[in-house]
Structure 1
Amino acid sequence: MLMAAVPFTAWPDPVPARLPMPTATAQYDGVLRKVILAHKEEGHYALARPLGEVLARAVQAALKAQRAAWLCPVPSARGTVRQRGHDPLRRVVVAAARELRTNGYDIRLADALAVVRRPADQAGLSARDRAANLAGAFEGRSRWAERLTNQPVLLVDDVLTTGSTLAEAARALSARGIPVLGCAVVAATPRRSASGS
């Protein structure tokens, strides 16, 4: 196991509209940050398994007493996946699902989102600018709408920063009539509001 941490509710500040309750397992810093970046940007594929174990703990906490759910990963643009040579989040989600099934959960993957507009690079953008940058970036896939109606769906991602990505993903699913139970992420970046110090 990569680390022993207690999952927590990871509301960013400010909280974007439509963001379902986000659950994280750790802060995005230190060793965990290095491991996420090594997996995502340097292609250290073997790190998907320990990261999946960490994500599985966030999923368990987000589900509370429920033992079944669909995990819907936030998709990356095809060009980004090509550039990296792999889809890091998908690898982590597959590992998390495997870990959860081993522990008696009925977990399935739902590729219910598509990138329909590639947003600009998010680095350095404020929470407000990130939300504007992501508006309309995702669309719920129509073939999943009926299948996921009245099903427990969790959005999953590796890192929560401002919450804008997950809020936009939730909006896209809701537009297809797919309700989102919550969000689970490996790690969350501590955020301060613009009025904070």
Structure 2
Amino acid sequence: MREWWRELADLVLPADCAGCGLPRTGLCARCRELLSGSRPRRVRPEPPPDGLPPVHACLAYADEVRAVLLAHKERGALRLAAPLGAVLAGAVRAAAGEAGPGGAARGSTGPLLLVPVPSARRSVAARGHDPVRRMALAAAAELRRGGWSARVLPVLRQRRAVADQAGLDARRRLANLAGALDTVAGAGRLLEQGPVVVVDDLVTTGASLAEAARALGRAGGRVAGAAVVAASRPGAR
């Protein structure tokens, strides 16, 4: 119900630009171009956590990009899922190996499976939505419009509570997330359908992506790589 009201409000109550604050624009032309003009690049945290797959990001987590991601994630600006999903789709293409329309990763068959890193239940309840899953759905739709076979497969779950990652250094993030993720019952059969790209909004130390890849690999998933909208520094959450 909360999501429905937010979507209606987005339509009838134009908000200031989520990136730069320009009045009554929602997302101004300059900020939209900043997102749409991005190009994926390989990013790597230092030090990289064990088991981290190749990670691609399109943007640096700063200024307008940071503001747009936070508006979508923390303030429920659901209209931003589509432009952010389009950015994420670019990173997914790079992570999958740029097979081109109609395919997934090179040498693979079956649809490309986008697996979002799950948010904690308490965070989803507080925000009223799951921002990464919403962006993943928008990214999969964008990929299909480009001729790719792609679907979202939300098979990861948190098996135990974890502390808030904010303020933790790389070593503490790794310890906080070690063994924290698992897959739902029957995930192995679903993961057999095609290659997997782990998706998230942001990468900082790589701990979340490495833990997600570990859990998916344990269930039999073929992880081709990871894709995020933005990287917090020249490396990589």
1:6 to 34, 39, 53: 39
Alignment of 1:38 onto 2:71: yes
State TM-score, norm by structure 1: 0.93
Does the aligned pair in 2 maintain the 1:161–1:191 contact within 8 Å? no
Q: Are positions 1:171 and 2:204 aligned together?
A: no
Counterpart Cα distance in 2 of 1:77 and 1:189 = 21
- The answer to whether the 8 A contact 1:15-1:162 is kept is yes
- After superposition, the C-alpha distances for 1:42-78 in whole angstroms (9 at most, x for unaligned) are 0000000110011011011112233231000001111
1:137 and 2:180 correspond: yes
Give the superposition deviation at 1:149: 2.8
Find runs of 4+ consecutive structure 1 residues off by over 2 angstroms: 64-68
Asked if the contact 1:150–1:179 (Cα under 8 Å) also holds between the matched residues in 2, the reply is: no
1:114 match: 157
CA distance in 2, matches of 1:113, 1:98: 20
Distance 1:133 1:191, change over 3 A: farther
Q: Secondary structure at the match of 1:142?
A: coil
Q: Distance in 2 between matches of 1:153 and 1:189?
A: 23
Alignment of 1:24-103 (within 5 A): 24-66=57-99, 67-68=103-104, 69-103=112-146
Distance in 1 (CA, whole Å) between partners of 2:169 and 2:222 is: 27
Q: Which amino acid counterpart does residue 142 of structure 1 have in structure 2?
A: A
Of 186, 190, 196, 2:229 maps to 186
User: 1:88-108: per-residue Cα shift (whole Å, max 9, x none)?
Assistant: 111111111111100101001
TM-score, normalised relative to structure 2: 0.78
Structure 2: distance between partners of 1:113 and 1:180: 13
2:53 aligned partner? 20
- Structure 1: give runs of 5+ residues left out of the alignment: 193-197
How far the C-alpha of 1:191 sits from its partner, in A, is: 5.6
Contact 2:133 2:154 in 1 (8 A): no
Distance 1:74-1:134 versus aligned 2 partners, 3 A rule: same
Give the deviation of 1:178 after TM superposition. 1.6
Q: Which amino acid aligns with 2:42?
A: T
Residues 148-191 of structure 1 deviation map (CA, whole Å, 9 limit, x = unaligned): 13721000000001000000111111121222110000001116
Distance of 2:155 and 2:51 partners within structure 1: 18
Secondary structure (helix, strand or coil) at the match of 1:101 reads helix
**Which piece of structure 1 moves more, 109-118 or 46-55?**
109-118
Which letter maps to 2:212? A
SS in 2 for 1:181: strand
Larger RCO of the pair (alpha carbons < 8 Å, separation 6+): 1
Counterparts of 1:10 and 1:171, CA distance in 2: 19
Contact in 1 for aligned 2:58/2:88 (Cα 8 Å): yes
Please tell me whether the aligned partners of residues 142 and 176 of structure 1 are also in contact (alpha carbons under 8 angstroms): no
2:155–2:187 CA contact under 8 A, matched in 1:
yes
Instruction: Could you tell me which runs of 5 or more consecutive residues in structure 2 were left unpaired when the two chains were aligned.
Output: 1-31, 105-111
